[in-house]
C-alpha cells in the first residue's frame, strides 16, 4: 500500500522536472526535424518493437538527420551515408564518448570495459592492449591455425550430424567462442561435439547468456532517459541486468581461477591474452602514472567484451549468409564453382585462399550490408555543441547511427532489399566499396575512433566460415521446408539475430578424408 503514494509523487516530480527542463533548455537554435514528443516520455513510444525499423520509417518522413527527445535526453539519428560521415568523420572527436546507460553500469562492470569506457587515457590503453596482442596483423597471422582448426572441427561436427537437423547458429557460436578462447585463454571453453556427443550444455547456456545480454543492451530503459524513474525499474530491466551480470561474473571468475591453476601446473609462460593481461595488473605505464595499471575488474570487463562482441556477431552473420545462399541456389552454385577452381576438392579452404575468392568476398560484403551485426550503432555522445547539415546539435546529445537503414537506402543502392553480391563485383554499382569504415554507404563495424576494435578478426572469421560451409556441404532446410518460405524476419536486440534459428540438414559434398585432414 505504501508504494502507491511513492510512485504518484515520483511521477509528479518527473512531470515537474520535465516541464522545467523544457523551459530551461528550450533552444533558439534550429534543431533537426523530428516527430513531436509526448509529455515526459518524449519520443520513446515512437521507437516501436524493432527500433532500427521504426527509425528508418521515421527518416522517410523527417529526413536522414532527425532529432528525438527520449525522456529528458536529446537524441540525434543519422540515417544516410552523408550525414553519418559528418558525425563519424568530420565531428568524430566530439562524438568519441558514450552516454550514461544502465547496461554499462550493471553489466559491463560500471564502465570499466572497452566498449563503454569514457574516451580518454584508460580507453586508449585498453584498446592498445587489444590491438597489439589480439587484433594486430601479426597476432592474427600467428593464430591463423587456431581458427582453421576450429572451423575444421565444425565440419566434423556437421558430418557426424548424419540425418539429424542441426541448429546452425548454435554450432557456429561454439566454433567462434572456442577459436577466440584459444587465443584469449590458451584453451577451449566448450566441448565441440565432434565425436557425436552433441553440443556442450554449457555452450548452449553461454549462447543464451550472450543473446540475453544483446537483448537487454538493445532495450531503451526508461530510467536512462528519465532519471527520477530509474529507481522504480518500471520495465524490470535493471533487475535482469544485475542477474545476468552475476552469471557472467561467475563464468569469468571460473575462467580466471582455472587459468591460474593451469599456469601454475604448466610451470611456463603462456602466450595467451589473459596471461598478458594478468602480467599488466601491477605494471605501471611508461610515465609511471595510475593510468597504466590494469585491475581485476578491468580484466573481467575486457573478457566480457571480447566473449560477447567477438562470438555472437560473427556466428549470426554467417547464419544470415547461409540462409541467403539457401534461398538463392544460383548464387551458392556460383560460389562453389569458384571454390572448386581456386581451392579444389581435396583439401579444406584456408585463410590464405580468401583473397583469391572474389565472388565469396562479394557474398560476405552483401551479407554485412543487408544483415549488419549491429543494425543500430552503439550510442555516442556530443562532448560539445556543434552544427551538422545546418542544424544545431546540443552538447550532451546522444547520437545513433542507423547502420541498417543506411545500407538499404534506395538513393544509394539499386533494389536495396535484394541479396545481390554482384553489386560488389567489377561492373556492379559498388565494386570498390570498403566495409572497414571508409565508405559510409556500408559500415557494419562502425567508423571513426570507436570503430569495432575486433573488425579484422571478425572479417577473417566470417570469411573463413562462409567459405568453408560453401565448400564442404550441400544444405537442405529441416522438415522439407521450401527455401522460398524460409523466415527471414529479425529479432529484437543490440545485434541482428534471426527471429527463428536456421535449422538445416548438412550433406557432405567432399570425400570423407577431407574432413579429417586438418
Q: What is the pLDDT of residue 295?
A: 86
Dihedral pair phi/psi, residue 64, rounded to 5°: -75, -10
The region of weakest confidence among 219-233, 256-270, 358-372, 458-472 is 256-270
**Per-domain residue ranges of the chain:** 121-515
Which parts of 112-236 fold into alpha helices (H)?
A: 121-133, 137-142, 144-160, 168-184, 201-218, 222-225
For domain 121-515, the question of CATH label 1.10.3720.10 is answered with no
- Average pLDDT estimate for 497-517: 94
Summarize pLDDT for 139-170 with one digit per residue, the tens. Answer: 999 999 999 999 999 999 999 998 899 999 99
Residue 392 in this model has a pLDDT that exceeds 90: yes
Q: What is the pLDDT of residue 11?
A: 55
Grid cell for residue 48: 516501436
Residues near 475 by beta carbon (within 8 Å), at least 6 away in sequence: 322, 325, 326, 332, 469, 504, 505, 506, 507
pLDDT confidence bin for 409, thresholds 50/70/90: very high
121-133 and 296-309 are packed helices; what angle lies between their axes, rounded to 10 degrees? Answer: 60
- Average pLDDT estimate for 211-218: 90
Residue 23 in this model has a pLDDT that exceeds 50: no
Q: What is the pLDDT of residue 287?
A: 45
Residues near 268 by beta carbon (within 8 Å), at least 6 away in sequence: none
The Cα 91–Cα 72 span in angstroms is: 24
pLDDT confidence bin for 213, thresholds 50/70/90: very high
Grid cell for residue 276: 598478458
Q: What is the pLDDT of residue 507?
A: 96
Residue 6 in this model has a pLDDT that exceeds 70: no
The Cα 158–Cα 175 span in angstroms is: 12
> 236-245 — which CB contacts under 8 Å span 24+ positions?
237/102, 238/102, 238/106, 240/212, 240/216, 241/102, 241/103, 241/106, 241/107, 241/216, 242/106, 244/107, 244/209, 244/212, 244/213, 244/216, 245/106, 245/107
Query: Average per-residue pLDDT in the chain?
Result: 90
What pTM, to 2 d.p., does this model score? 0.91
Residue 27 in this model has a pLDDT that exceeds 80: no
CA-only gyration radius of the chain, Å: 24
Dihedral pair phi/psi, residue 384, rounded to 5°: -140, 160
pLDDT confidence bin for 277, thresholds 50/70/90: confident
Q: What is the pLDDT of residue 24?
A: 47
231 annotated among ligand-binding-site residues:
no
Amino acid at each position: 500500500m505504501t508504494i502507491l503514494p511513492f510512485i504518484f509523487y515520483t511521477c509528479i516530480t518527473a512531470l515537474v522536472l520535465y516541464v522545467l527542463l523544457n523551459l530551461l533548455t528550450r533552444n533558439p537554435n534550429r534543431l533537426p526535424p523530428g516527430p513531436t514528443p509526448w509529455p515526459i516520455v518524449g519520443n520513446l513510444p515512437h521507437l516501436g518493437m524493432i527500433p532500427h525499423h521504426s527509425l528508418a520509417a521515421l527518416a522517410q518522413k523527417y529526413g536522414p538527420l532527425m532529432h528525438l527527445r527520449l525522456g529528458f535526453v536529446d537524441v540525434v539519428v543519422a540515417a544516410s551515408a552523408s550525414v553519418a560521415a559528418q558525425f563519424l568523420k568530420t565531428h568524430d572527436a566530439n562524438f568519441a564518448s558514450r552516454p550514461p546507460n544502465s547496461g554499462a553500469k550493471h553489466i559491463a562492470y560500471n564502465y570499466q570495459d572497452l566498449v563503454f569506457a569514457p574516451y580518454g587515457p584508460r580507453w586508449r590503453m585498453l584498446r592498445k592492449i587489444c590491438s597489439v596482442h589480439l587484433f594486430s596483423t601479426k597476432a592474427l597471422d600467428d593464430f591463423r591455425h587456431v581458427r582453421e582448426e576450429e572451423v575444421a572441427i565444425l565440419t566434423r561436427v556437421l558430418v557426424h550430424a548424419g540425418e539429424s537437423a542441426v541448429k546452425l547458429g548454435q554450432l557456429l557460436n561454439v566454433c567462434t567462442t572456442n577459436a577466440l578462447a584459444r587465443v584469449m585463454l590458451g584453451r577451449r571453453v566448450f566441448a565441440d561435439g565432434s565425436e557425436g556427443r552433441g553440443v556442450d550444455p554449457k555452450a548452449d547456456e553461454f549462447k543464451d547468456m550472450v543473446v540475453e545480454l544483446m537483448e537487454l543492451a538493445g532495450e531503451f530503459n526508461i530510467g536512462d532517459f528519465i532519471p527520477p524513474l530509474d529507481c522504480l525499474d518500471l520495465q524490470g530491466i535493471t533487475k535482469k541486468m544485475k542477474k545476468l551480470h552475476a552469471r557472467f561474473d561467475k563464468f569469468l571468475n571460473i575462467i580466471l581461477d582455472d587459468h591460474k591453476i593451469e599456469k601454475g601446473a604448466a610451470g611456463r609462460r603462456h602466450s595467451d591474452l589473459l596471461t598478458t593481461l594478468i602480467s599488466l595488473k601491477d605494471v605501471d605505464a611508461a610515465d609511471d602514472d595510475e593510468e597504466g595499471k590494469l585491475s581485476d575488474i578491468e580484466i573481467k570487463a575486457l573478457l566480457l567484451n571480447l566473449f560477447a562482441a567477438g562470438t555472437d556477431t560473427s556466428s549470426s552473420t554467417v547464419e544470415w549468409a547461409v540462409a541467403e545462399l539457401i534461398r538463392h541456389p544460383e548464387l551458392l552454385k556460383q560460389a562453389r564453382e569458384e571454390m572448386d577452381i581456386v581451392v579444389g576438392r581435396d583439401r579444406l579452404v584456408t585463410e590464405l585462399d580468401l583473397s583469391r575468392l572474389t565472388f565469396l568476398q562479394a557474398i560476405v560484403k552483401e551479407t554485412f550490408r543487408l544483415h549488419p551485426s549491429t543494425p543500430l550503432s552503439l550510442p555516442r555522445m556530443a562532448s560539445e555543441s556543434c552544427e551538422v547539415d545546418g542544424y544545431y546539435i546540443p552538447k550532451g546529445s546522444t547520437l545513433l547511427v542507423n547502420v541498417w537503414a543506411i545500407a538499404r537506402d534506395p538513393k544509394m543502392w539499386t533494389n536495396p532489399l535484394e541479396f545481390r553480391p554482384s553489386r560488389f563485383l567489377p561492373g556492379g554499382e559498388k565494386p570498390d566499396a570498403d566495409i572497414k569504415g571508409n565508405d559510409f554507404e556500408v559500415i557494419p563495424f562502425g567508423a571513426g575512433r570507436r570503430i569495432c576494435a575486433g573488425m579484422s578478426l571478425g572479417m577473417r572469421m566470417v570469411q573463413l566460415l562462409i567459405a568453408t560451409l560453401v565448400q564442404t556441404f550441400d544444405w537442405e532446410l529441416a522438415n522439407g521446408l521450401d527455401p522460398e518460405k524460409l523466415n527471414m524476419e529479425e529479432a529484437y536486440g543490440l545485434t541482428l539475430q534471426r527471429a527463428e534459428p536456421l535449422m538445416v540438414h548438412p550433406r557432405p559434398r567432399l570425400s570423407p578424408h577431407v574432413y579429417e585432414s586438418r
